[in-house]
Chains A and B, each alone.
Chain A
């Protein structure tokens, strides 16, 4: 029988394979392995190790929490696809949690969460006192002007540099990634119909064909 509150969370949106199993606010098992490749092969064996460690099986799960990025496109899809397959076979909800939300978990606001977007750019989201602002892709020379505020907290990738630039202060994440995803997923209202989807924040690299079509004469 599934326990409504037994939540398995995992994330492969960057060079790691991270997972956590939580129940009633307690972390039953947690693992994070650094790896640049091979997450597709490692993810399920890792999840099975976690379940075994807690003496649980797949059918005991009440819900899934999955990291939706932003980050590595392929890595994000690895976890999201796995979560959607599990949600379907176990008939339990799968909830997508962004890296921004996970970084901000348990930290006071206002707060800016930052994720490496490569090539000198950053994925950023500001959590204001009131509402969460939409996430964005930016470089450090194109930050919104109203972000420059003394004392603003910055968490995540390049937090010290970004905080120095904005006149704020860097703070460490309060909870490791997979555990934060699990906690957030466990606290949300579950909707079986909602399916997790990757948060890309960047369109696919694609260009229209170079060859132009010839003129067709009448």
Chain B
């Protein structure tokens, strides 16, 4: 299929309500004609994390407004769109459902094809949206909800080389900030504090570093941080600002070191495929952390792969990546009918053994 495609994308799987319009002329770089993201940070701030029901309520009443804004910014009418792409999972099911049903209403009313997109595929295909990267490339998806190394060999072919067996790093940053009385989201707060801290003062663990493979774990690190905090509180009745900065620095250093070492292993596996133009791409909010990013960049350079971090607005949740993944899937003949289901769990790689979630409900991601 070689025609120009203009897709509307919808995203509502976590705490960002988003709509975007992306156009692709074969042989040219894709164009983002509009990308609207309505965050919900203030709605969840009091609860120290995303509350699924609060998120779902906001999505249901914001999504169509975001779509209108995206169309207005792209200066297009729905009749000028070629297809509707929507995140159909994995994620918080209330929000995903709101997105899928809104998309069905749009597709049915406008007589357009509907394409359900895996949210993780959206992230994993972003390097092709921003930089027209060729397959195969290595992707580290590292965010508040996800952490996995993906070998991307096609628009719908992903092999997970490893991933977290418990928390995602973004989640760990949020919890650390909460334990230390720092504002949410935790990533930027911890990073800011860490600048004035001594990373060597506290001996925090490097989970799973001694085991082979690319799997990661961050839950024990959080517990170790809590233990160090409690020791200080018991001894002095609280934390000094320096204590807090040192704890942040130590915590960030541990996450950085683990991600860097596991990236080295994933890269080695990737390079054994002998890619013509090797690329190591990162996506997800945690990729915005400068210390982590610079370390990953070094690892990538050492091994001879081009390091790619899409602009932050396209690294975190957005709908441009969903529209793009929709275009890629559509070009391969993918489309859905009106019975498209929303899936809380939907692993990208169905062949590798599940890391998270098991039993009756199956793997999560």
Residues of A within 8 A of B239 (CB): 214-217
- Report the separation of the CA atoms of residues A200 and B56 in the bound assembly, to the nearest whole angstrom: 12
B274 → A minimal CB distance (Å):
44
- Of the listed residues A40, A90, A198, the one surrounded by the most CB atoms of chain B closer than 10 A to its CB is A40
A74 → B minimal CB distance (Å):
6
A200 to chain B: closest residue by CB: B57
B320 → A minimal CB distance (Å):
19
- Report the separation of the CA atoms of residues A84 and B108 in the bound assembly, to the nearest whole angstrom: 12
Contact B48 A74 (CB under 8 A): no
Which of A24-32, A41-49, A115-123, A162-170 lines the interface with chain B? A41-49
- Report the separation of the CA atoms of residues A197 and B238 in the bound assembly, to the nearest whole angstrom: 46
- Report the separation of the CA atoms of residues A195 and B244 in the bound assembly, to the nearest whole angstrom: 47
Question: Is B282 in contact with chain A by the CB < 8 A criterion?
Answer: no
Q: Is the interface of A mostly helix, strand, loop or mixed?
A: helix
Q: Encode B232-244 as 1/0 by CB contact (under 8 A) with A.
A: 0100111111001
- Report the separation of the CA atoms of residues A211 and B179 in the bound assembly, to the nearest whole angstrom: 7
Contact B180 A198 (CB under 8 A): no
A216 → B minimal CB distance (Å):
6
Given A204-B57, A217-B239, are A58 and B109 neighbors across the interface (CB < 8 Å)? yes
Q: Which residues 187-213 of A sit at the B interface, judged by CB distance below 8 A?
A: 195, 197-198, 200, 204-209, 211, 213
Question: Is A52 in contact with chain B by the CB < 8 A criterion?
Answer: no
Q: Which of B98, B178, B181, B240 is A77 in contact with, Cβ under 8 Å? A: B98
- Report the separation of the CA atoms of residues A198 and B239 in the bound assembly, to the nearest whole angstrom: 45
Contact B108 A77 (CB under 8 A): no
Q: Encode B90-111 as 1/0 by CB contact (under 8 A) with A.
A: 0001100111111111111111
Which of B136-144, B253-261, B291-299, B334-342 lines the interface with chain A? B334-342
Which of B22-30, B62-70, B157-165, B311-319 lines the interface with chain A? B62-70
B14 → A minimal CB distance (Å):
16
Q: Which of A41, A43, A87, A206 is B54 in contact with, Cβ under 8 Å? A: A206
Residues of B within 8 A of A77 (CB): 56-57, 60, 94, 97-98, 101
Q: Which residues 27-69 of A sit at the B interface, judged by CB distance below 8 A?
A: 40-45, 47-48, 58-59
Contact A209 B49 (CB under 8 A): yes
Q: Encode A71-87 as 1/0 by CB contact (under 8 A) with B.
A: 00110011111111111
Q: Which of A40, A200, A213, A217 is B101 in contact with, Cβ under 8 Å? A: A40
Contact A215 B63 (CB under 8 A): no
Q: Encode B201-226 as 1/0 by CB contact (under 8 A) with A.
A: 00000000000000000000000000
- Report the separation of the CA atoms of residues A195 and B65 in the bound assembly, to the nearest whole angstrom: 10
Contact A217 B240 (CB under 8 A): yes
Contact B341 A84 (CB under 8 A): no
Contact A88 B67 (CB under 8 A): yes
Given A48-B338, A77-B94, A206-B47, are A85 and B237 neighbors across the interface (CB < 8 Å)? no
Contact A89 B94 (CB under 8 A): no
Residues of A within 8 A of B110 (CB): 89
User: What total of A-B pairs shows CB separation below 8 Å?
Assistant: 147
Question: Is B264 in contact with chain A by the CB < 8 A criterion?
Answer: no
**Total B residues in contact with A, Cβ cutoff 8 Å:** 51
Given A42-B339, A45-B339, A214-B181, are A84 and B63 neighbors across the interface (CB < 8 Å)? yes
Question: Is B364 in contact with chain A by the CB < 8 A criterion?
Answer: no
Residues of A within 8 A of B97 (CB): 40, 74, 77-78, 81
Question: Is B133 in contact with chain A by the CB < 8 A criterion?
Answer: no
B15 → A minimal CB distance (Å):
13
Contact B109 A90 (CB under 8 A): yes
Contact A213 B63 (CB under 8 A): no
Residues of B within 8 A of A208 (CB): 46-48
Residues of A within 8 A of B109 (CB): 58-59, 85-86, 88-90
Question: Is B61 in contact with chain A by the CB < 8 A criterion?
Answer: yes
Contact B341 A217 (CB under 8 A): no
- Report the separation of the CA atoms of residues A77 and B105 in the bound assembly, to the nearest whole angstrom: 13
Q: Encode B16-55 as 1/0 by CB contact (under 8 A) with A.
A: 0000000000000000000000000000001111010110
Residues of B within 8 A of A41 (CB): 339-341
Q: Encode B166-190 as 1/0 by CB contact (under 8 A) with A.
A: 0000000000001111000000000
Q: Which residues 106-121 of A sit at the B interface, judged by CB distance below 8 A?
A: none
Question: Is B329 in contact with chain A by the CB < 8 A criterion?
Answer: no
B300 → A minimal CB distance (Å):
36
B74 → A minimal CB distance (Å):
15
Residues of A within 8 A of B240 (CB): 216-217
- Report the separation of the CA atoms of residues A45 and B339 in the bound assembly, to the nearest whole angstrom: 7
Contact B94 A40 (CB under 8 A): no
A-B contact pairs, 17 of them (CB 8 A): A40-B97, A40-B100, A77-B56, A77-B97, A77-B98, A77-B101, A81-B60, A81-B98, A82-B102, A82-B105, A85-B101, A86-B108, A88-B64, A89-B108, A204-B51, A206-B54, A215-B233
The 4 closest A-B pairs by CB, nearest first: A85-B105, A89-B109, A213-B181, A215-B238
- Given contact pairs A215-B239, A216-B181, enumerate 5 new A-B contacts (beta carbons under 8 Å): A41-B339, A48-B108, A77-B57, A83-B105, A88-B67
